[in-house]
Amino acid sequence: MTNAPPQAAIEFVSVSKAFGATPVLSDISLTIAAGERAVVCGPSGAGKSTLIRCINGLEQHQRGTIRVSGETLTEATRSLRQIRAQVGMVFQSFNLFPHLTVLENCCIAPRTVLGLPRKEAESRARTLLRRVDLPGYADRYPAQLSGGQQQRVAIARALCMQPRILLLDEPTSALDPEMVQEVLDTIVGLTDLGMTMVCVTHEMGFARRLATKVLFMDQGRIVESGPPADVFDAPQSPRLQRFLGRERAGP
């Protein structure tokens, strides 16, 4: 951890956070290299979402250091702006703007933040909507789409800002079962963009397809991490062995 390579996309050094007296992140240190795809898994309440939300400052950590592309994250507006400019985010509940069309959802940030002219922003949005397999949906409103389609719009919206890092916080947890696969396939299909990705998920099969690195969390700590083959097929800690056993036994 101390000699992190300069191309590290995300670095946590002894990061801690508590909600009141309850610790949610305890002394977390990790490095995610540029281009790596990290999957964060673990039981509910392990701190997975808090961890991922700290990366772009939606949650504030209390101790330790977080660096994103070498930039140290602070509460200062300037630091947050700089880091969020490189980090896209996809939420569990999509968080699309319901009064804007799909195209407007995708264009609002490129136009107002990056200052792109309308034409350029729209052509970028249309390209990415094709990429998430939603051509022809540009003029619909979110409420007219299925959950899976909305989440794919949310992915396109994040990609329109051309982030170097994409955070996905349980992207399929709010979806009906039959829509999960289309969203997972879309996410796996993004790997050729070479983005760094950090994804919290409960879908173990998907984790194997996507991940170059797996982080297993429990009670605010990273219990085990490594390539998916090691973590999933040869778990070292009893906690992870129990967790995987249950996953296998599950539906």
Partner 1 sequence: MSAWNAPLAGYGTQLLLGLIFTLQVALCSYTIGMVFGVLGAAAKLSRRRGLRLAAGLYTTLVRALPELLLVLLAFFLGAGLIERLLVFLRLASEDFSLNPFVVAVVALGFIQGAYLTEILRAAVLAIPRGQQEAARALNLPPLTYLGRIVAPQALRHALGGLGNIWLNATKDASLISVLGIFSDVLKVSSLAAAATKRYVFFYMVAGACFLALTLVSMALLEWLRRRLSLSRLA
For partner 1, the binding residues (CB under 8 A) are: 56-58, 81, 84-85, 87-89, 91, 93-100, 108-109, 112-113, 141, 143-144, 157-158, 161
Longest dimension (CA), the chain: 55
Which run of H or E residues covers position 182?
helix 177-188
CB of 190 to partner 1, least distance (A): 17
CB of 150 to partner 1, least distance (A): 12
CB of 222 to partner 1, least distance (A): 23
CB of 149 to partner 1, least distance (A): 13
Name the region of 231 (left: φ>0; alpha: ψ -120 to 50; beta: rest).
Answer: alpha
Cross-strand pairs, 222: 217
Q: CB-based burial of residue 184 (10 Å sphere; 0-12 exposed, 13-18 middle, 19+ buried)?
A: buried
DSSP state letter for 145: S
What's the alpha-carbon Rg for the chain, to the nearest Å? Answer: 18
Token pair belonging to 61: 């950590």
Q: Work out the number of other CB atoms within 10 angstroms of the CB of residue 32.
A: 24
Sign of torsion over alpha carbons 49, 52, 54, 57: negative
Nearer to partner 1, 42 or 110 (CB): 110
Nearer to partner 1, 84 or 152 (CB): 84
Residue 15 has, within 13 A of its CA and on its CB side, a CA count of 31
CB of 85 to partner 1, least distance (A): 6
CB of 19 to partner 1, least distance (A): 16
Nearer to partner 1, 115 or 251 (CB): 115
CB of 28 to partner 1, least distance (A): 21
Nearer to partner 1, 37 or 84 (CB): 84
Nearer to partner 1, 25 or 167 (CB): 167
Pair type for strands 37-41 and 213-218:
parallel
Scanning 3-132, the segments in alpha helix (DSSP H) are 48-55, 77-84, 102-112, 118-131
Token pair belonging to 198: 């950090």
Nearer to partner 1, 15 or 158 (CB): 158
Nearer to partner 1, 88 or 235 (CB): 88
